[in-house]
Structure 1
Amino acid sequence: MIGTLDVDIRPGSGLGFFELGSSLWNVLDLLRSLPHVFPQVDIKYDVDSSVTTPVVLHIRPHLDLLFSGHHQRLHTICARRLRDPHPPLIVRYKDTVLSSAEEVLRRVGVSRTFGPTYPGDDLRYPGVWFSFDEDRIGEGIKAPNPRHTEDRMQEVKRVIVSQKGPEGEERDALDEVLNCPVMHDDIARAIVKVHTGVTLYQHLPRAEPLHIRLGSTSAQDLVCDLGPPLRTHYKEDDRMSIHSTTKDNEEEEDGDYFYNYFQHGIDVLISGSTHTCKKIILHTNIPGTPLFQRYKRCLWEIEGRPEDDEDDSPPRMKFYDRFESINHFLSPRETPPSMVLDRTDDDDDLTLPNPTTRLMGYDGIVLEVTESGHVVTVNLF
């Protein structure tokens, strides 16, 4: 039996277990670890634009979590069906119980706790607002309400928590999340340079960029810069070696291993003999693909050659660009041959919108591309 769900309101910051700015990967990982508290979670997104679509986690029956489309960060939290007893919900603010099985949250109760605010159909305060309408999170934060009433006993139907904009302004539901402390240990951008490696920039203000260089960065360097990996996986799948252009005596040595940084959306293949970086894999975390939620989204950008020595802003292709554009960027004259990869071969019960991908190989880089033309992974070698 599921117990009472007890959540506290933190205006502009969070609600209960959930902190604004948290990544989709972290929140889903949290929900998986608490099945007794959150037994049913639905993931909703636009299949036609799955790379940049906002994602809504509907946690039955009380919570909706809206994540931004590009960065996959928790943007808005909505508590609804406050009186639904399955399970009962308690909503607190500081030391005050606003809503419970015994306490109905009404307009007058909100005003007593939070003070006066501007007139309107909803009660809006910096970082939190109270609505008297039923569910409408998918229609955006600023959805109009044709009715206007200020009945002091009117029952609150939804509580919405979002970030505070400049000077307390409301933020649009399609905006990206502002930088906040919960993001500071995460990677903000990953700049890819073919044949060289990846430069990582953190959200933490004034943090120095981190470099992963092919053939140079060691396993020890990675641990110092990124911390220990969440998993170390020894390479056993050699099916791609049949396509190798090296001679038999030059094939990859035994003992290569991966450092899996799921929390950054990065894998690094390390040589078993030199213990230096041989390959880097960056993951886009696209809903509807087999790799969704195994890795946090890595916001990668493939950098091209600068036009001249004074060009400090070389051209780049980003994780949300279509394959056709990236292909022209990497190989203007022709499209390379491709190989088909089906990651659901071993799971007959798994049905996904994009189960099959193509591996597109270039000099120093391989892209894994969905049937709809989105890049799932970037492989540097």
Structure 2
Amino acid sequence: MQRSRRRFESAAMGSIMLDLRPGLGLGPFSLGMPICEALAQIEQQPNVYDAVHIKYYDEEPLKLDIVISLPDHGFHLRFNPWSQRLRLIEIFDIKRLQMRYATACIGGPSTLATFVAVYALFGPTYPGIYDKERGIYTLFYPGLSFAFPIPSQYAECCQDGEAELPLEFPDGTTPVTCRVSIYDSSTDSKVGVGSLMSKACVPPLPAGSLYMEEVQVKLGDELWFTVGGQHILFGASPQDVWTDLGRPCGIHQKQVDQMVIHSASDPRPRSTLCGDYFYNYFTRGLDILFDGQ
């Protein structure tokens, strides 16, 4: 299923510039970040990230990646469905995104990301892998790969281990990248298009991280956070929770049941909100409900 939204009709479409960090991330998006943090980054720049599509598999939500797609800028953010952490960044339309690496730029409408240009910017590397079925040659660097479409008449010169780098065809042309993948470089996996996409793994959590912290529950009594050691008692005040868990990511009022509101025996005003409210701790996967009375 795909959810999409568009915030401002007048927002400009087209190329933006983001810092390319091989093995680490792209612009404000870092590999391993929770999906809630990525969405917060997008929300902070509504004029830049105007069109946002969120895609997931309705029938089995833990089977396939959760994908945040930014079509105006030609890239996807792929999140592991279990941990909801960023495992792979894919640039699928290099003309819509200009990437800055060190002091040079590549991509966008004016700087073609050709094989020769990529090789000159990132330096020599081992020969890549040629996918005969897709007609794609993938060049790998640590935490970074570039996929190039190869015309069928030049397929023979791109066999694994036989291509001379940088790749140029007999007619003097050089292929232009059709996809860039950014992934964790702590493993030796080669990540690219097709089956190679599944090899991208979420980087390990940093030492002391509270993300996916084990929480023990004592029904009707308390929650105990095993890493931080906090005890949240049922009946605790908002001030107590704020002191123990820190500032919440969001605060939202609770909606009440529409059928209850419209029942003849209910004398309350016909509003969808009540006095109860939530503290939202998205990075902990936790909402805490307070009695508004």
For normalisation by structure 2, the TM-score amounts to 0.67
Residues 21 and 182 in structure 1, CA contact (< 8 A), matched pair in contact too: no
Aligned to 2:148: 132
Aligned to 2:35: 24
Aligned residue pair count: 240
1:224 is paired with a residue whose SS is helix
Q: What is the CA–CA distance in structure 2 between the aligned matches of 1:127 and 1:176, rounded to whole Å?
A: 11
The one of 220, 229, 243 equivalent to 1:224 is 243
CA separation of 1:239 and 1:101: change in aligned 2, threshold 3 A: closer
Q: What is the CA–CA distance in structure 2 between the aligned matches of 1:41 and 1:11, rounded to whole Å?
A: 24
- Kindly report which structure 2 residues correspond to 1:281-296, keeping only aligned pairs within 5 A, or say none: none
Residues 22 and 183 in structure 1, CA contact (< 8 A), matched pair in contact too: no
Aligned to 2:18: 7
Aligned to 1:111: 119
The one of 194, 201, 209 equivalent to 2:219 is 194
Cα displacement string for residues 84-125 of structure 1 (whole angstroms, at most 9, x for unaligned residues) = xxxx43122111112233322222222222222221232111
Quick check: 1:63 aligned with 2:75?
A: yes
CA separation of 1:103 and 1:257: change in aligned 2, threshold 3 A: closer
CA separation of 1:222 and 1:118: change in aligned 2, threshold 3 A: same
The one of 279, 286, 292 equivalent to 1:259 is 279
Q: What is the CA–CA distance in structure 1 between the aligned matches of 2:254 and 2:110, rounded to whole Å?
A: 58
Residues 9 and 16 in structure 1, CA contact (< 8 A), matched pair in contact too: yes
Q: What is the CA–CA distance in structure 2 between the aligned matches of 1:157 and 1:5, rounded to whole Å?
A: 18
The sequence identity of aligned pairs, in percent, is: 32
Aligned to 1:282: none
CA shift, 1:3, in A, is 5.5
- Kindly report which structure 2 residues correspond to 1:291-310, keeping only aligned pairs within 5 A, or say none: none
Cα displacement string for residues 32-80 of structure 1 (whole angstroms, at most 9, x for unaligned residues) = 3433212222222222201443112221141011110101111101112
Q: Which amino acid aligns with 1:219?
A: P
CA shift, 1:131, in A, is 0.9
Quick check: 1:210 aligned with 2:230?
A: yes
Quick check: 1:177 aligned with 2:202?
A: yes
Residues 21 and 183 in structure 1, CA contact (< 8 A), matched pair in contact too: no
Cα displacement string for residues 279-332 of structure 1 (whole angstroms, at most 9, x for unaligned residues) = xxxxxxxxxxxxxxxxxxxxxxxxxxxxxxxxxxxxxxxxxxxxxxxxxxxxxx
Aligned to 2:89: 77
Q: What is the CA–CA distance in structure 1 between the aligned matches of 2:249 and 2:205, rounded to whole Å?
A: 24
For normalisation by structure 1, the TM-score amounts to 0.53
Aligned to 2:133: none
Quick check: 1:160 aligned with 2:181?
A: yes
Residues 251 and 280 in structure 2, CA contact (< 8 A), matched pair in contact too: yes
Cα displacement string for residues 182-211 of structure 1 (whole angstroms, at most 9, x for unaligned residues) = 99464434343433433335xxxxx53333
1:42 is paired with a residue whose SS is strand
> Which structure 2 segments of 5+ residues have no match?
1-11, 130-137, 151-157, 169-173, 192-196, 261-273
- Kindly report which structure 2 residues correspond to 1:80-91, keeping only aligned pairs within 5 A, or say none: 80-83=92-95, 88-91=96-99
CA shift, 1:238, in A, is 8.5
CA RMSD of aligned residues (A): 3.6
CA separation of 1:260 and 1:45: change in aligned 2, threshold 3 A: closer
Aligned to 1:278: none
> Which structure 1 segments of 5+ residues have no match?
135-146, 202-206, 242-253, 274-381
